[in-house]
Amino acid sequence: MLLELLVTLIEKFEETHYPIPQGTPHSMLIHLMEARDLTPEALAGVIGSREVVWEIVNGATINKAQAEALAEYFRVDVNLFE
């Protein structure tokens, strides 16, 4: 009982003082690419042309079809890219 209280208090303190920032679709894509050592060219077949991939890498919005294709390719939840 005391241990559970202590754990709860520590979790609340960490959430308040050290929150984990929410990633953006762009930052999630960059992270996944870096983790797998992928270049933008490697994703051309997944979401379209190299130009489209470079636009997304440089901050363009990821549309629904692209988000679904990326989620399937990386085997992650589509919500990471929306």
At 4-29, the pLDDT tens digits run 999 999 999 998 888 877 788 989 99
Residue 77 in contact with residue 68, Cβ under 8 Å?
Answer: no
Q: Model confidence over 55-70: pLDDT tens digits?
A: 998 989 999 999 999 9
**pLDDT mean over 61-82:** 93
pLDDT of 1 over the 90 cut: no
Give the pair of three-digit tokens for residue 75.
């085997």
Of the candidates 74, 40, 73, 79, the one whose C-alpha atom is nearest the C-alpha of residue 57 is 40
The CATH class, in words, for 21-81 is: mainly alpha
pLDDT recorded at residue 73: 95
What is the structure's pLDDT at 43?
A: 92
In terms of pTM, does the model score above 0.75? no
Residue ranges per structural domain of the chain: 21-81
